[in-house]
Structure 1
Amino acid sequence: MEAGSCSGSEGEAEGAGAGTPVRVRVEGSVFAVDRALLVQGCDYFGALFRSGMRECRQEEIWLQGVRAGGFLTALSVLRGERPLLSAQQLVDAVECAAFLQVAPLARHLADLVTSDTCLLLCQAAAVFGLRELYLSAALFIRDMYGDLAEEARALPDPVRRDVEALTPSSYVAVGTHSPSMEMLQDSFRTLCYLDEEAREWRHLTDLPTHASTSMAGVAVLANRLYIVGGVRGVSKQVVESCFCYDAWEDTWSVIPSPRQPRYNFTLVGHEGRLFAIGGEFERTLMSSVETYDVAAGAWSFASNAPWPVADAACAKAMSRIFLCFWRPMETTDIYEYVPSTDHWRLITSLIRPQSYGHCMVAHRDNLYVMRNGPSDDFLRCLMDCYNLSTGQWTAMPGHYVNSKGALFTAVVRGDSAFTVNRMLTLEYSILGDRWKPRREMKGFPRSGSVTTFLLRLPRASRNQATPPPDAPGPSPR
């Protein structure tokens, strides 16, 4: 591009025409776009409009190197939409995200990684150099490698080797424990992982002496397990000690406690932060929300939840946070918390009879809400599905046996859901409108309630060769 008529400081160049439309010509199409929208979400245009070059004041810009369909997808994502895309649209979008450095589009494409799209997105990201998308797709393939091995053979050899070098997610569980004493360390205070080949549970690590998993907040963020708060004893005395387990290093560390003591709350990890939502203190329900910035190591308050709530079911779908509230009884309200704007919004409500207990997990753009059946049959678990794209509820066919709480600890990995109780670990295949039992394994060898999650464990934990814990992961080729 030629240096042109833009004069003055960089700030003036950026401000000139900000908020005014510019025509962008791509192939045979012309798009009228707000300059501010392009500057905010696209590094290419941000640099262009600050460059002092002639194009920063032109009313029409010719754009080469991308397809019109990919640019149209980028605009829709920058405007806050979350479009579902065909195979060709995915490739065009990857090309556009890479060439124009559209970070929001790259994040949206990572949300579209499924068993149907992972191979295509992995190859496209490798070709165009979108590292984060490449890693997201490669990790997904690794988690489902048993099901995708045949299709994965079509991947280029360097890409396939990258995938095979990654560590898959492991199903991990911990029972409910109060803090211990140094001299009376309980041998049952352990984290265990599921050895899927042997179909049994194995010891991973011991809980720190002062850690509580009784009514504590438990969440995974960036392959680190966080245990926040909890209680000790029948008096429900709040435990202030909070801990972080680094799965790669196999080490525990202490983190600061929330500013508001709380227990029986929901903890969720998202984009470098933990969110502690609601809970109880001195037997009083709370609506307050705190967020922990992992990098800064500090807690701060966020917008209150819509209602006081304890132990709310939570799930993340398409990089969005959803909480399931019961208010009034037998009404399920699902709210979304939007961290970027720090506000809550009601997504949907469902009226359905229930007795007690519920759980929510996400798969693709579906939220699955599980609850006990009528009070006269509390061991029977019913399930409903809410689709975020269509806004429709569907009652799942059949009943799911809730033998001592198995389905209330569900975790989704790939196209599978894992549930566990003391007698049985059960893997379901998620088929959209139904869950089909797939594998049965040994139950968790501890009594009481169980919390489950996924961690990528160093292979030495499973008696295999160990990759360096700081390995950079796959690089696009």
Structure 2
Amino acid sequence: MSAEEMVQIRLEDRCYPVSKRKLIEQSDYFRALYRSGMREALSQEAGGPEVQQLRGLSAPGLRLVLDFINAGGAREGWLLGPRAEKGGGVEEEEEMDEVSLLAELVEAASFLQVTSLLQLLLSQVRLTNCLELYRLAQVYGLPDLQEACLRFMVVHFHEVLCKPQFHLLGAPPQAPGDVSLKQRLREARMAGTPVLVALGDFLGGPLAPHPYQGEPPSMLRYEEMTERWFPLANNLPPDLVNVRGYGSAILDNYLFIVGGYRITSQEISAAHSYNPSTNEWLQVASMNQKSHRRLC
């Protein structure tokens, strides 16, 4: 068998060319089919390319899987980037939204047992697709993908919780002893070693960070082993610098800073949350009125 030998995959009334060598290398389904001798192949004409018939799959999902196989793996932006590329992927007139496309892709990759593609999905989890990938992992029995989605949702818990689709997946448990998805994520997020964080202007005194160079940081973390304060790489957002009298609260391992006043005595209503899992600040909905009273 030469490396250039091609196979035509027929789905309904259309055929899609794919390298036979790469097909056998990448697809456990076709590898087992050829090794067993049960090829179930047709021939269009004498000396023509071999044809393999498939049923029950969607054309967009199959094309993406075959594009992946023909390319010998994923190109940059293969899944999350533009998909209407000439000569491969989903054609422009049939371009689908990411959620729908993922469903077709995972179905085809699971049926054809393209393990390398399914493994690639572990690194493709995003806020835009984590809930759909989690659902698909449950449907097709993909524990590694399910675990990758859970880890991502733990890190981005509040952002995921705000998505309308979450309530479809996070239904209350049906049997005694079952734990809801929301509770499972919350418990995982609260696991680990607590860290003390301080916010403010540290120009000296007992909280002066070590080592200290350049501009004074506005966020510090306390290291219990050395009994010293160290600057956090991500300081306060610019609009929180020189703000005093803000309220603070902790919820689900997020730190919330709300209200306060600037050194010009101007009260503010802005609210921000700090996610220690990503070391990032996010602006959240502002309060209904400006205030510098502390939260109770």
Please report the TM-score for the alignment, with normalisation by the length of structure 2. Answer: 0.52
- Among candidates 19, 23, 27, match of residue 42 of structure 1: 27
Read off the aligned partner of 2:54 and give its amino acid letter: L
Secondary structure of the corresponding residue to residue 180 of structure 2: helix
CA distance in 2, matches of 1:156, 1:105: 27
Matched, 1:133 2:145: yes
CA distance in 1, matches of 2:170, 2:4: 44
Please state how far the C-alpha of 1:162 moved relative to its aligned partner: 5.1
After superposition, the Cα gap between the structure-2 partners of 1:46 and 1:17, relative to the gap in structure 1 and judged at 3 Å, is farther
Matched, 1:155 2:169: yes
After superposition, the Cα gap between the structure-2 partners of 1:430 and 1:75, relative to the gap in structure 1 and judged at 3 Å, is farther
Q: Which residue of 1 aligns with 2:119?
A: 107
After superposition, the Cα gap between the structure-2 partners of 1:54 and 1:37, relative to the gap in structure 1 and judged at 3 Å, is closer
Matched, 1:122 2:134: yes
Matched, 1:407 2:254: no
- Among candidates 68, 75, 83, match of residue 59 of structure 2: 68
CA distance in 1, matches of 2:57, 2:254: 39
CA distance in 2, matches of 1:430, 1:200: 13
CA distance in 2, matches of 1:26, 1:123: 26
C-alpha contact 1:139 1:163 (8 A) present in aligned 2: no
After superposition, the Cα gap between the structure-2 partners of 1:134 and 1:38, relative to the gap in structure 1 and judged at 3 Å, is same
Structure 2 residue runs of 5 or longer lacking an equivalent are: 44-49, 81-97, 199-212, 221-229, 236-252, 256-272, 285-296
Q: CA RMSD in A?
A: 4.1
C-alpha contact 2:154 2:188 (8 A) present in aligned 1: yes
Please state how far the C-alpha of 1:18 moved relative to its aligned partner: 6.0
C-alpha contact 2:11 2:54 (8 A) present in aligned 1: yes
**1:417-437 deviation digits (Å, cap 9, x = unpaired):** 99xxxxxxx936999xxx645
**1:318-369 deviation digits (Å, cap 9, x = unpaired):** xxxxxxxxxxxxxxxxxxxxxxxxxxxxxxxxxxxxxxxxxxxxxxxxxxxx
Number of residue pairs aligned between Structure 1 and Structure 2: 191
Matched, 1:142 2:154: yes
Matched, 1:164 2:183: yes
Read off the aligned partner of 1:49 and give its amino acid letter: Y
CA distance in 2, matches of 1:91, 1:76: 17
Please state how far the C-alpha of 1:125 moved relative to its aligned partner: 2.0
Q: What is the correspondence of 1:16-415 to structure 2 with a 5 Å cutoff? A: 16=1, 19-55=4-40, 59-78=50-69, 79=71, 80=73, 81-82=75-76, 83-85=78-80, 86-150=98-162, 151=164, 152-155=166-169, 157=171, 161=180, 164-165=183-184, 168-169=188-189, 193-194=193-194, 378-379=214-215, 405-407=231-233
After superposition, the Cα gap between the structure-2 partners of 1:95 and 1:50, relative to the gap in structure 1 and judged at 3 Å, is same
C-alpha contact 1:113 1:137 (8 A) present in aligned 2: yes
After superposition, the Cα gap between the structure-2 partners of 1:110 and 1:27, relative to the gap in structure 1 and judged at 3 Å, is farther
CA distance in 2, matches of 1:132, 1:73: 21
Please state how far the C-alpha of 1:53 moved relative to its aligned partner: 1.6
Aligned-residue identity in percent: 26
C-alpha contact 2:130 2:152 (8 A) present in aligned 1: yes
Please state how far the C-alpha of 1:401 moved relative to its aligned partner: 6.5
Secondary structure of the corresponding residue to residue 407 of structure 1: coil
Read off the aligned partner of 2:168 and give its amino acid letter: A
CA distance in 2, matches of 1:66, 1:52: 23
Please state how far the C-alpha of 1:41 moved relative to its aligned partner: 1.2
Higher relative contact order (CA 8 A, sep 6+): 1
C-alpha contact 2:33 2:39 (8 A) present in aligned 1: no
Please state how far the C-alpha of 1:44 moved relative to its aligned partner: 0.7
After superposition, the Cα gap between the structure-2 partners of 1:141 and 1:428, relative to the gap in structure 1 and judged at 3 Å, is closer
Secondary structure of the corresponding residue to residue 62 of structure 1: strand
Read off the aligned partner of 1:76 and give its amino acid letter: D
C-alpha contact 2:26 2:116 (8 A) present in aligned 1: yes
**1:19-43 deviation digits (Å, cap 9, x = unpaired):** 5110012244321111111111111
CA distance in 1, matches of 2:7, 2:14: 14
Structure 1 residue runs of 5 or longer lacking an equivalent are: 1-15, 173-192, 202-376, 381-399, 410-415, 419-425, 440-477
After superposition, the Cα gap between the structure-2 partners of 1:170 and 1:39, relative to the gap in structure 1 and judged at 3 Å, is farther
Please state how far the C-alpha of 1:66 moved relative to its aligned partner: 1.7
After superposition, the Cα gap between the structure-2 partners of 1:170 and 1:164, relative to the gap in structure 1 and judged at 3 Å, is closer
Please report the TM-score for the alignment, with normalisation by the length of structure 1. Answer: 0.34
Please state how far the C-alpha of 1:90 moved relative to its aligned partner: 0.9
Please state how far the C-alpha of 1:402 moved relative to its aligned partner: 8.6
C-alpha contact 1:20 1:36 (8 A) present in aligned 2: yes
CA distance in 2, matches of 1:60, 1:438: 56
CA distance in 1, matches of 2:29, 2:8: 15
Matched, 1:427 2:284: no
CA distance in 1, matches of 2:110, 2:104: 10
C-alpha contact 2:137 2:145 (8 A) present in aligned 1: yes
After superposition, the Cα gap between the structure-2 partners of 1:161 and 1:97, relative to the gap in structure 1 and judged at 3 Å, is farther
For the pair shown, the structure with the greater C-alpha radius of gyration is 2
CA distance in 2, matches of 1:430, 1:71: 37
